[in-house]
């Protein structure tokens, strides 16, 4: 099969899509201008138990603000449990001190206990997700990139991307290619967004997850139903065709499955712990989910 690749930048996967040929997409990004009519009103400072999460002249995007809030909740919990000195102070840029980072690790080691996946759990996961463990699967794809560049209103950019995604859900390849040529901030737009045939290793992890980490029943062909978010921006992806890989036996992937299940359990327990901390805290200027449920045991 011919490995025809066009677009944005060779094995380095410069915009995450993995398309080959041409100059790296973000070496000279297409600048997306901020909306000149956007409001310049500074929102009130968000706080966690009275501790500010940003400066008075700063308005972090909602996701960054949530991440800062969760980090601050953990830092305060580490102080309360004696892992971190009371003299440690938070930074307004959301970057924890080295002492705070180490203390949070100690805190989480004590608070989060997860069950060890047994063989039967691994086998059930394997039976339900065999497509994940095939070798050599390839996907013929196109994409449209809404690049996140300095000064961009990220929320407005996402709304634009979601509106176009909705319009393209039932479109044919020609319509998708036309929109890519007119809209995409990736050089592959000049080729209708074509990325050629991609293997899992050709793409950035988050891009590959959208293309390959799917169950057999959800091995989608057509426009993927959700935006794919990477560090480069928001992607609308069209899968034109799939080439199945070679299936592996359970014994060859059991260790990898155990690691996956362990990580899933850890993420679930961490989310529960963060929700418990949020439910006990005084949080102003943003909303966090709170919970009263016990940690996963």
Q: What is the pLDDT of residues 169-183, one digit of tens each?
A: 888 999 999 999 999
Contact between 178 and 228 under an 8 Å Cβ cutoff? The reply is no
Task: Map tokens 């997700």 to a residue.
Answer: 129
Contact between 12 and 25 under an 8 Å Cβ cutoff? The reply is no
Contact between 188 and 272 under an 8 Å Cβ cutoff? The reply is no
Contact between 235 and 144 under an 8 Å Cβ cutoff? The reply is yes
Cα 199 to Cα 143: distance, rounded to the nearest angstrom? 15
Q: Which two tokens stand for residue 117?
A: 């996946």
pLDDT at 28: 40
Distance set, CA 130 to CA 76, 109, 278 (Å):
42, 32, 37
Dihedral class, residue 142 (left if φ above 0, else alpha if ψ from -120 to 50, else beta): beta
pLDDT in tens, 222-243: 898 889 998 889 999 999 988 8
Percent of residues in the chain assigned helix, strand, coil, to nearest 5:
40, 15, 45
Residues of the chain short of pLDDT 70, as ranges, are 1-14, 20-43, 131, 213-219, 290-297
pLDDT at 170: 82
Q: Cβ neighbours of residue 179 under 8 Å, at least 6 residues apart?
A: 144, 164, 167, 168, 171, 193
Q: What values do phi and psi take at 141, rounded to 5?
A: -140, 160
Distance set, CA 264 to CA 63, 112, 115, 269, 293 (Å):
21, 13, 11, 9, 18
pLDDT at 133: 75
Q: Which two tokens stand for residue 208?
A: 């590959």
Domain ranges (residues) in the chain: 10-26+128-243, 47-116+263-284
Q: pTM, whole model, 2 decimals?
A: 0.56
Cα 239 to Cα 222: distance, rounded to the nearest angstrom? 5
Angle between helices 154-168 and 173-183 (to 10 degrees): 160
Q: What values do phi and psi take at 230, rounded to 5?
A: -125, 180
Cα 256 to Cα 270: distance, rounded to the nearest angstrom? 21
pLDDT at 292: 43
CATH fold, domain 10-26+128-243, is: Chitinase A; domain 3 (3.10.50)
């Amino acid at each position: 099969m011919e490995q025809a690749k066009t677009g944005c930048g060779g094995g380095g996967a410069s915009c995450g899509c993995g398309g080959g040929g041409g100059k790296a997409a973000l070496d000279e990004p297409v600048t997306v201008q901020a909306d000149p009519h956007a409001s310049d009103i500074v929102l009130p400072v968000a706080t966690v138990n009275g501790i500010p999460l940003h400066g008075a002249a700063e308005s972090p995007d909602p996701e960054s603000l949530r991440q800062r809030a969760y980090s601050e909740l953990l830092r305060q919990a580490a102080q309360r449990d004696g892992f971190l000195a009371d003299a440690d102070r938070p930074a307004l840029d959301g970057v924890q001190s080295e002492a705070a980072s180490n203390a949070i690790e100690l805190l989480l080691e004590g608070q989060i206990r997860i069950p060890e996946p047994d063989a039967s759990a691994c086998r059930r996961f394997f039976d339900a997700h065999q497509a994940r463990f095939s070798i050599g699967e390839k996907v013929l794809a196109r994409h449209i990139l809404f690049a996140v560049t300095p000064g961009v209103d990220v929320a407005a950019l996402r709304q634009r991307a979601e509106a176009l995604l909705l319009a393209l859900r039932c479109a044919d390849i020609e319509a998708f290619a036309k929109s890519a040529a007119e809209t995409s901030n990736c050089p592959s737009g000049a080729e209708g967004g074509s990325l050629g045939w991609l293997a899992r290793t050709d793409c950035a992890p988050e891009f590959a997850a959208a293309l390959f980490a799917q169950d057999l029943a959800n091995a989608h062909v057509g426009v993927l139903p959700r935006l794919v978010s990477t560090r480069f921006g928001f992607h609308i992806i069209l899968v034109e065709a799939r080439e199945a890989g070679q299936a592996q036996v359970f014994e060859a992937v059991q260790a990898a499955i155990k690691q996956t299940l362990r990580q899933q359990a850890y993420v679930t327990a961490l989310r529960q712990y963060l929700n418990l901390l949020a439910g006990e805290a005084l949080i102003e200027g943003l909303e966090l989910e709170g919970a009263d449920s016990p940690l996963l045991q």
